[in-house]
Structures are given as structure tokens and as C-alpha cells.
């Protein structure tokens, strides 16, 4: 190799020494070079330059900082921004010495607030300016200038053009999956004929696929009132370890089979993916974990701590009562729960119908809590079978988890011919059953009213088969104000329930035999006053008669304090919203008596009762450590 072969020429190659002179013609043509900066080149619409971030849309989830391959983004706390559930007050700060302008942060941003612009010039003496907060013209009108005022001679991270979006996020190409794995439901036509459970549940492949959508940003953990470790238990499901997942859930929530069916899912409303897609199905995954594990005891292997010798009484076996019993038992105290129903669950045993919460699921959770050493005294009504003063005497502390058990009535004329909502549900679930008419009217627009209406529909199909039956609801609130959840309203509509929003009950009309003929309703002007308080106003002359042979009232519930003797009742302090006042340890104004749940908080759901129970557990534990018996 390497010897030069001189003069060897192939015959078909035409080389010439004069042909290069053809290039002289270019001497007289216009040069193609751009005279920058006087002649500028317009950057393309997809150029990847510096970052832009809309601070109103940004939730501070931190996904951009997690995915950056160069660790160029840090999330910094901004004290001026308010913290809300589902939003953090952190915003991304970007180090342009590290950023490689790849745009992965844009593709993973769930809210489409982080974008890349068409600017790419920054000239400055101070190297500290190369690290800056990403902002845009909405949050920083001082440095983002319109086209006329912008000058390329001063190009800088603090001297940028408005409306210069470059590489933006597109839902078709995003790195997260916006669509949820559909939960299989029994179709409406089939399920309205019986009390079969509506939700079928995820299979293993579906659960793993749904769990793989979670971006681990933990906004849900802040929004959950009980602060469950959600992203950890979803990760365990993704790795096909439902027992590990259950262990994580039980650190904060001892009733997963119940909550996995009826929780109000504050977490899913805060999920990052809910902004431009469907949130991760956190509740259904909890249900999956609780259903996959048959034997809770074998999987969890929890042992209560050494016995402290102290006894605590809990009144009410609802979600608050069960949780405080679970947490106190693990700390070593002896707990006895009193409840007037024949089984555990409290309001959840008699409230949600069987197609939403089967009794077997309630018993699965209650049996596990009983196996840890909690003593249940069912069919024991405090105030009748045992007095409140005896309980205060015998036990070192008491927890009131009595819930709201008394239905309210509209008290219109002939309202005594109507049935109360909670009594209707209770009779059907644990009593003899109720005979329904062929045209039932349900007064109310909340979740309990929906439960009552759908139960009545099913009973009508069972008790009057092949006949024309209808269930109607009438509520003060119009569609946009109805307090029931959207999915309840949609499911009810699918089953054929007729809604009559924005009508108020005026009078129950009876026929000559004294039986219910219908409900006379008056048109609602408005429901809430300027401060948002409940104060309805009507057009008294505009009325309509809704026909029906049975009316059920489901307009709200209140607590039953009748078991508390008068002198203690005078000591019990209430807040201005008529809830029991508790301090930061959950203790009421009566020493030794703690409270939580529907009588204390305004959310009125199971998971907030669990949160109150956790607070009370710490308070009770502190008190019991101090007192000596």
C-alpha cells in the first residue's frame, strides 16, 4: 500500500483544467450570506430555545425536574404563592449552563404550562444570570416586551419577546398517558333490575397498566385529608405486589375495602393527569389491593404494642370510630367500641346501598380490626343500654364518632305521610324491606338522595315487574349547583331516573282517602345568598304538581346528642357552623372526651373522619401517658 501511481487515467473520466472557470459567473450574483444583525432570519415555529412557564397554570408538581437528564431544573419555594390542595407553591428554576434544550420537560409537563420559546440569545457579564426562573408575559410583563420594543442588540434572558412560543406540548406525543384504563361496569339496563354490585373491578393486567400511569409527583398525597402514601402503594401494585401495597395503605387507612368503594376521592381531583386527561384511578386501585389479598392478617402481620393498661371507649363504629380504635390498639391501649347496629361500619352499613358497598366488604375490614384485639359491643345504644356517665366513669378516655344519624324533614304540610331517607335505606339494608309505590318522588339533590332514588328504582323493578314504574327526584338546586357527585348523577340518569331541578316542596297533596297523591312544588329563585349561605328564595305563585304515590325526604342529616345528659351538654362547645369544637389534639371542651368525623368537620366523608381520628389518636395517647390510674 502506498505507492503513488503516476499518470494513470481512466478513459471515461473527463477531467479538465479549464472547466473550473465556469464558476466566475457567481462573481456577479448576489451573495447568499445574511448580513446579521441587520438582516435577521426568522426562527422556525418549532425552535427549542429558552423556557416559558405560566405561573397560574403551573402546579409545582416537579415532573420537569425529575425527568431532566442533566439535573438542570430545581424546584424553588415561592412564599408569595398560596398553597392549595393539589397545587404546591414551588416553581422551576433552570440552569442554562446545564440545560441541553432537549424539551423532555415540555413533553412530560401535565398542565402545558412549561414551553420552549424561540429566543436563544443571552449575553451578560454576570454568570449568575444564567440561572433564572422560567416565566412568561402573564407573570412578568416587565421583561417580556412586545415586538416593537424588543431589540436584538440587548438580547438577554431579561429582555425577551412576547408571543414567541416555540416547541410546545402536544397531547398526542406526550410522555404520559392521558387516558385511563376503563373500569368495567355492569351496564345500566342490567344493573337496575337487581342489587348486583355495579363496579366489576380491575383484573391484574388492567391494574398494572393503570398503575403504570402514575408520574409520582405526589400532589395527591397533599390533597388527601388522611395523607395516604399514594404513590408508594401504586408503585407496589405496578410491581405486582398487592401485599406490599396493602401494608402501605394500612399505615394510614384501616378500611381499604370500604374506602376503595365509596371514598370521595379528593386525591383524583388533585392528580396532575386530571388537568388534560383522566386522573389515575387511585380509588379503584385501592379496591384492587384490598380485594386481591384474602387474608389481611397473614399479609400484614401487625402486632399491637405492649399493653399500657389503659382503656378507651369509642361510641360509633363508623369510619372514625374504627380508625381511632385501630390506631390506639397498635399503640397498646385497650379499646371497646359501642354501636347500636348489629354490625360494624356505622352509617356506611345502613347508608350506601348494596350495589355500591356490599356488606361483605364492610365485614372484611371490621373483622380484621377485631382480630387485632378491639372489642365490639353491637346492639348497644349509649343512653339506653349503658349511660354516658358510666362510660366516662369506667374508661380513661372517650371518643365520639357518632356521625349524623337523624334525617331532617322539610316539615311542609302532611310531611308526616312521607318517609325519611335514612330510615328508608336502613330498613332496606338491615330491616324488613320497604314496599315502594309505582311512582316515587325523592326530595333532595345530594348523594343520599341519589342513593335513595336508585334503590327505589331497583325495588320498583323487583316488586312491580312488567309494570310501568318511575322514580323522580326534585331538588332546590339546579344542575350546576347539585351537591351530588357527577358520576352519581350520570349513573342515575343512565338508569332512567327523572330529575326535576330548581323546584322546592310546598305541600304534600293527599287524595280523599288520605293517601299520597303527589307533591306540590314551587319554583326556586335562588338557593344561596351572596355570602354563599343556604337561604332559598321562591316564586310562590309558580307551582306545579308532581304525581306520585310515595314520597321520600332526603334533604340532609344531623347528629343525635340525646345520650349526653343536660349538664354535660351545656359544657359542650360548638363552633359557629354548629359543629363540635375540638382543639388541636381532638379534645372537646369536656375533658377526656374527644370527637371527630361528621360532627366536627365540614367535608362529611369517610376519609376526613379518618384524618380526624388520627389527630385524636395523638391527643388521646398524650393524655393517657400523663394520667395515672
Partner 1 sequence: MTERELEMYFGPQHMGMVGNFSITLNVEGDRILKAKANPGYLHRGFEKLMELRTWIQNFPLVCRVNVIEPHSMEMVYAMAVEKLAGIKVPSRAEYIRTLTLELSRLASHLFGCWAYANMLGFDTIAQWAMYHRDLVLDLFEDLTGGRVYPIYIWPGGVRRDLPDGFKEKALNTLHEIGGKIPDYDATFFNNRLFYNRAKGIGRISRKEAKNLGGTGQVLRGTGVKFDIRKVDPYSAYDKVDFEIPTREDGDAYSRIWVIRDEMIQSVHIVMQCLEKMPSGKVYNRVPNPFKWKIPKGETYVRVESSRGELGLYMISNGGDKPYRVHFRTPSYPHGLTILEKMLVGESVADVGNIMMSLYVVAPEIDR
Q: Which stretch binds partner 1 (CB under 8 A): 98-106, 374-382, 581-589, 620-628?
A: 98-106
Supply the minimum distance, in Å, between the C-beta of residue 441 and partner 1: 48
Place of cell 408520574: 215
- Strand 90-95 to strand 131-133: parallel, antiparallel, or no bridges (unpaired)? antiparallel
Does residue 12 belong to the site contacting partner 1 (CB under 8 A)? no
Q: Which stretch binds partner 1 (CB under 8 A): 166-174, 249-257, 463-471, 495-503?
A: 166-174
Buried b (16+ CB within 10 A) or exposed e, 337-359: bbbbbebbbbbbbbbbbbbbbbe
Contact in structure between 497 and 454 (CB atoms under 8 Å): yes
Does residue 11 belong to the site contacting partner 1 (CB under 8 A)? no
Q: Which stretch binds partner 1 (CB under 8 A): 17-25, 157-165, 374-382, 391-399?
A: 17-25
Residue window 56-95: x/- pattern of binding to partner 1, with contact defined by CB under 8 A: ----------xxxx--------------------------
Does residue 240 belong to the site contacting partner 1 (CB under 8 A)? no
Please tell me the count of residues contacting partner 1 according to CB under 8 A: 51
Contact in structure between 108 and 64 (CB atoms under 8 Å): yes
Q: How far apart are CA 597 and CA 53, in angstroms?
A: 40
Q: Which stretch binds partner 1 (CB under 8 A): 103-111, 301-309, 528-536, 614-622?
A: 103-111
Contact in structure between 385 and 519 (CB atoms under 8 Å): no
Q: Long-range contacts: 303-309, Cβ < 8 Å, 24+?
A: 304/329, 304/330, 304/331, 304/332, 304/372, 304/373, 305/330, 305/331, 305/332, 306/332, 307/332, 307/333, 307/334, 308/332, 308/333, 308/624, 309/334, 309/629
Does residue 248 belong to the site contacting partner 1 (CB under 8 A)? no
Q: Which of 86, 92, 110, 166 contacts partner 1 by CB under 8 A?
A: 166
Supply the minimum distance, in Å, between the C-beta of residue 145 and partner 1: 24
Contact in structure between 555 and 441 (CB atoms under 8 Å): no
Residue window 32-61: x/- pattern of binding to partner 1, with contact defined by CB under 8 A: x----------xxxxxx-------------
Indicate the residue among 66 and 549 with the shorter CB distance to partner 1.
Answer: 66
Indicate the residue among 38 and 173 with the shorter CB distance to partner 1.
Answer: 173
Indicate the residue among 214 and 564 with the shorter CB distance to partner 1.
Answer: 214
Contact in structure between 450 and 555 (CB atoms under 8 Å): no
Supply the minimum distance, in Å, between the C-beta of residue 207 and partner 1: 14
Q: How far apart are CA 266 and CA 251, in angstroms?
A: 19
Indicate the residue among 3 and 570 with the shorter CB distance to partner 1.
Answer: 3
Does residue 229 belong to the site contacting partner 1 (CB under 8 A)? no
Q: Which of 56, 77, 84, 170 contacts partner 1 by CB under 8 A?
A: 170
Closest CA to 284 of 221, 337, 230: 230
21 torsion bin: left (phi>0), alpha (psi -120 to 50), beta (else) = alpha
| 141 contacts: CB under 8 Å, gap ≥ 6 | none
Supply the minimum distance, in Å, between the C-beta of residue 10 and partner 1: 8
Indicate the residue among 69 and 127 with the shorter CB distance to partner 1.
Answer: 69
Q: How far apart are CA 497 and CA 247, in angstroms?
A: 41
Indicate the residue among 104 and 123 with the shorter CB distance to partner 1.
Answer: 104
Indicate the residue among 215 and 615 with the shorter CB distance to partner 1.
Answer: 215
Indicate the residue among 213 and 472 with the shorter CB distance to partner 1.
Answer: 213
Residue window 283-322: x/- pattern of binding to partner 1, with contact defined by CB under 8 A: ----------------------------------------
How many residues does the structure list for the chain? Answer: 629
Residue window 317-356: x/- pattern of binding to partner 1, with contact defined by CB under 8 A: ----------------------------------------
Sign of CA dihedral 301, 230, 599, 404: negative
Residue 290 parent element (H or E): helix 282-292
Q: How far apart are CA 245 and CA 238, in angstroms?
A: 9
Q: How far apart are CA 451 and CA 282, in angstroms?
A: 23
Rounded to a whole number of angstroms, the distance between the first and last alpha carbons of the chain is 103
Indicate the residue among 98 and 438 with the shorter CB distance to partner 1.
Answer: 98
Residue window 199-228: x/- pattern of binding to partner 1, with contact defined by CB under 8 A: -------------xxxxx------------
Closest CA to 610 of 266, 292, 243: 266
Supply the minimum distance, in Å, between the C-beta of residue 173 and partner 1: 5
Q: Which of 101, 185, 561, 563 contacts partner 1 by CB under 8 A?
A: 101
Indicate the residue among 2 and 342 with the shorter CB distance to partner 1.
Answer: 2
Task: Report the DSSP beta bridge partners of residue 144.
Answer: 160
Indicate the residue among 17 and 602 with the shorter CB distance to partner 1.
Answer: 17
Indicate the residue among 181 and 457 with the shorter CB distance to partner 1.
Answer: 181
The residues that touch partner 1, with contacts defined as CB under 8 A, are: 1-6, 8-9, 13-17, 19-20, 22-23, 32, 43-48, 66-69, 100-104, 107-108, 116, 166-167, 170, 172-173, 175-177, 212-216, 235, 238
Amino acid at each position: 500500500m502506498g505507492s503513488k501511481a503516476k499518470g494513470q487515467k481512466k478513459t471515461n473520466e473527463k477531467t479538465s483544467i479549464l472547466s473550473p472557470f465556469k464558476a466566475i459567473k457567481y462573481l456577479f450574483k448576489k451573495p447568499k450570506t445574511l448580513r446579521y444583525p441587520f438582516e435577521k432570519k426568522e426562527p422556525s415555529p418549532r425552535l427549542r430555545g429558552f423556557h416559558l412557564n405560566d405561573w397560574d397554570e403551573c402546579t409545582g408538581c416537579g415532573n420537569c425536574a425529575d425527568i431532566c437528564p442533566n439535573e438542570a431544573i430545581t424546584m424553588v419555594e415561592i412564599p408569595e404563592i398560596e398553597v392549595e390542595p393539589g397545587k404546591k407553591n414551588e416553581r422551576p428554576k433552570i440552569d442554562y449552563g446545564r440545560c441541553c434544550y432537549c424539551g423532555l420537560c415540555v413533553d412530560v409537563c401535565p398542565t402545558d404550562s412549561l414551553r420552549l420559546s424561540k429566543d436563544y440569545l443571552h449575553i451578560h457579564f454576570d454568570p449568575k444570570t444564567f440561572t433564572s426562573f422560567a416565566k412568561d408575559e402573564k407573570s412578568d410583563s416587565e421583561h417580556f416586551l412586545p415586538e416593537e420594543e424588543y431589540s436584538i442588540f440587548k438580547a438577554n434572558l431579561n429582555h425577551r419577546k412576547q408571543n414567541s412560543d416555540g416547541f410546545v406540548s402536544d397531547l398526542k406525543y406526550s410522555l404520559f398517558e392521558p387516558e385511563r384504563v376503563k373500569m368495567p361496569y355492569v351496564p345500566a339496563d342490567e344493573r337496575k333490575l337487581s342489587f348486583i354490585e355495579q363496579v366489576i373491578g380491575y383484573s391484574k393486567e388492567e391494574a398494572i397498566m393503570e398503575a403504570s400511569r402514575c408520574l409520582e409527583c405526589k400532589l395527591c398525597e397533599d390533597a388527601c385529608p388522611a395523607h395516604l402514601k399514594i404513590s408508594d402503594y401504586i408503585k407496589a401494585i405496578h410491581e405486582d405486589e398487592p401485599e406490599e401495597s396493602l401494608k402501605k395503605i394500612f399505615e394510614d387507612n384501616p378500611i381499604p375495602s370500604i374506602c376503595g368503594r365509596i371514598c370521595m376521592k379528593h386525591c383524583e381531583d388533585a392528580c396532575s393527569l386530571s388537568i388534560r386527561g383522566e386522573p389515575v384511578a387511585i380509588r379503584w386501585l385501592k379496591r384492587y389491593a384490598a380485594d386481591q389479598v384474602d387474608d389481611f392478617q397473614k399479609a400484614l402481620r401487625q402486632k399491637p404494642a405492649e399493653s399500657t393498661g389503659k382503656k378507651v371507649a369509642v361510641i360509633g363504629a363508623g369510619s372514625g370510630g374504627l380508625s381511632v380504635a385501630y390506631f390506639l390498639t397498635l399503640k397498646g391501649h385497650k379499646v371497646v367500641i359501642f354501636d347500636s347496629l348489629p354490625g360494624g361500619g356505622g352509617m356506611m352499613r345502613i347508608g350506601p346501598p348494596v350495589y355500591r358497598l356490599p356488606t361483605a366488604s364492610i365485614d372484611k375490614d371490621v373483622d380484621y380490626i377485631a382480630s387485632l384485639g378491639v372489642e365490639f359491643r353491637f346492639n348497644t345504644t349509649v343512653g339506653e343500654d349503658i349511660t354516658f356517665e358510666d362510660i366516662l366513669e369506667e374508661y380513661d378516655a372517650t371518643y365520639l364518632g357518632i356521625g349524623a344519624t337523624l334525617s331532617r324533614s322539610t316539615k311542609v304540610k302532611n310531611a308526616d305521610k312521607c318517609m325519611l331517607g335514612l330510615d328508608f335505606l336502613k330498613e332496606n339494608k338491615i330491616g324488613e324491606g320497604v314496599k315502594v309505590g309505582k311512582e316515587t318522588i325523592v326530595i333532595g339533590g345530594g348523594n343520599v338522595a341519589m342513593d335513595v332514588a336508585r334503590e327505589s328504582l331497583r325495588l320498583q323493578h323487583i316488586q312491580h315487574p312488567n309494570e310501568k314504574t318511575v322514580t323522580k327526584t326534585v331538588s332546590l338546586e339546579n344542575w350546576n349547583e347539585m351537591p351530588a357527585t357527577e358520576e352519581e348523577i350520570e349513573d342515575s340518569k343512565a338508569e332512567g331516573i327523572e330529575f326535576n331541578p330548581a323546584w322546592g316542596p310546598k305541600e304534600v297533596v293527599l287524595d280523599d282517602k288520605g293517601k299520597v297523591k303527589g307533591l306540590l312544588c314551587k319554583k326556586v329563585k335562588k338557593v344561596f345568598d351572596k355570602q354563599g349561605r343556604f337561604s332559598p328564595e321562591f316564586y310562590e305563585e309558580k307551582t306545579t304538581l308532581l304525581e306520585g304515590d310515595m314520597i321520600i325526604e332526603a334533604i340532609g342529616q344531623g347528629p343525635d346528642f340525646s345520650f349526653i345528659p343536660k349538664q354535660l351538654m351545656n359544657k359542650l362547645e360548638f363552633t359557629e357552623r354548629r359543629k363540635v369544637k375540638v382543639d388541636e389534639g381532638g379534645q372537646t371542651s369536656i375533658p377526656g372526651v374527644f370527637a371527630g368525623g361528621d360532627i366536627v368537620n365540614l367535608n362529611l366523608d369517610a376519609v376526613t373522619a379518618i384524618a380526624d381520628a388520627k389527630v385524636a389518636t395523638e391527643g388521646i395517647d398524650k393524655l393517657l401517658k400523663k394520667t395515672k390510674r
